[in-house]
Amino acid sequence: MSIVKTRTAKSKAAMDEAKGVMPGGVTANIKSFAPYPIVMKKGEGAYLTDVDNHSYVDYLLSYGALMLGHGHPRITQALNENIERNGTWLFGAPHQLEIDFGKMIQHYYPSMDLLRYTNSGTEATLLALRLAEAYTGKHKIAKFEGHYHGGHHQVLYSIDPHEEDAGLAEAPIPVPDSKELKNISRNETIILPFNNLEQTEAILRKHHDQIAALILEPLQSGFISATQAFMDGIRAITDELGIVLIFDEVKTGFRVVMGGAQEVYGITPDLTTLGKVIGGGFPFGIVGGKKDIMMESAPNHDAKPQDVLFHSGTYNGHPFILAAGLATVEVLREEIDHVNERTALLRKSLEQLFKEKGMPMQTLGMGSVFNIVLTNEEVRDHRDYLKSDFTRRRQIDMALLDEGIYTKPVNRYSLSTSHGDNEIEKTIDAYRNVLNQL
């Protein structure tokens, strides 16, 4: 591919140098792809520019975090005003913006009686599970095959398992997604089959006296939707069995609609985790939910340490990030419907283009996020997704880099308020060129 051999020589040189500084040349494994990732030097609006001065329409958007695109002036203004007003960028003490921001979140996520701030989505899911364990006195968790909830031990199972390792579809077994887990007991994490209510209920009933929480992505990987009947059933079963239901909306919060997937499905989870979009491009996470559960972390100066769930963080509720988040919401109030409309237009146009070429393809997703899946068969879970044509998808994605369309190969697409008609037209033309070549 020319993107590897000729156009990105400076990226290759930079990554070779980076390997002398960081393991594999990256600070996060997801940033790496074969033969090497493209190194960027500038972002503006819907575009990224790499170190070889090639421009790309950015559909990765920092894995969906940059809902306003790169360098949005409303966020820049909010940050500057924050410094001028506060005289500092960090208090290390309570401040009014923590309250104001929290009330805004509660408006869009009324399931959050109370909430806590964290510094990432991973921290948010970790805190949510700890809260559930403290509240229930139980210590196993249940998660679905194919769902990602961050980089801590309990949830690093069966995110992207090979089918031959994963057991029966109706009764998946935990497959480690990290090397150190090979020598750790898998008994604390129970794996469930997504969108299969009958088998999920059977597994939950079998282990209900040990399961503190069921954590799930309402849209698996941000694009495979749960059915309404499945979500309704999960809510009823977890209520009955005393299992804390956690919606991990790090990917879907403020992306599908303002109130996330729980608004779409009409489900009130016990706990919700947020991140990505709501941080405005800065490291951020939120855990919120039922008062009785959240109060497990409330400080009690008269209690012994072992009687209160400890949660802290120097940067929790950082004024800079809350200011950026508020600015993001102010823009989305006005523009999220337009982003979703443009996303629907792009999806429809790409599906029509593949149909004209006689190539199997469907787009899956909701709101402003979707993925391109090269199969005409129904995709309801991870195993269905594995049957799509990943080899051809990687070929297309690598060729699209040559055409100035950027996402990490095989990753989902996210749109921002900066993606307009010109960017959509450019994307459709790029796909047409690539499909003609193939």
Q: Tell me, rounded to whole angstroms, the distance of Cα 412 from its chain centroid.
A: 10
| Cα distance from N-terminal residue to C-terminal residue, the chain | 13
DSSP state of 70: B
Q: CB of 402 within 8 A of CB of 395?
A: no
What confidence tens digit (pLDDT) does each residue in 112-154 have? 999 999 999 999 999 999 999 999 999 999 999 999 999 999 9
Please give the Cα distance from 20 to 305 (Å, whole number). 43
Domain limits of the chain? Answer: 2-71+336-437, 91-317
Q: Is the CATH number 3.50.50.60 carried by domain 2-71+336-437?
A: no
Strand partners, 248: 273
Length of the chain: 438
Residue 356, helix vs strand vs coil: helix
Predicted pLDDT at 182:
78
What topology is assigned to 91-317 in CATH?
Aspartate Aminotransferase; domain 2 (3.40.640)
At residue 188, what is the residue type? E
Predicted pLDDT at 141:
97
pTM to 2 decimal places: 0.96
Cis-peptide, bond into residue 35, ω within 30° of zero: yes
Please give the Cα distance from 246 to 380 (Å, whole number). 20
Structure tokens at 45: 């609006």
Q: Name the residues annotated as catalytic.
A: 148, 248, 276
In sequence order, what E strands does 26-166 have?
Answer: 40-44, 47-50, 55-58, 114-118, 140-144
Q: CB of 406 within 8 A of CB of 7?
A: no
Please give the Cα distance from 168 to 161 (Å, whole number). 12
Whole-Å CA distances, 365 to 74, 375, 390: 28, 15, 18
Parts of the chain with a pLDDT under 50? 1-3
DSSP state of 183: G
- Can you tell me which residue has the tokens 């898998």? 186
Sheet architecture: strand order including 271-275:
114-118, 285-289, 271-275, 244-248, 211-216, 140-144, 189-192
Please give the Cα distance from 68 to 75 (Å, whole number). 9
Predicted pLDDT at 87:
94
Q: CB of 142 within 8 A of CB of 212?
A: no
Predicted pLDDT at 1:
43
Q: CB of 141 within 8 A of CB of 188?
A: yes
Nearest Cα to Cα of residue 102 among 261, 252, 322, 272: 322
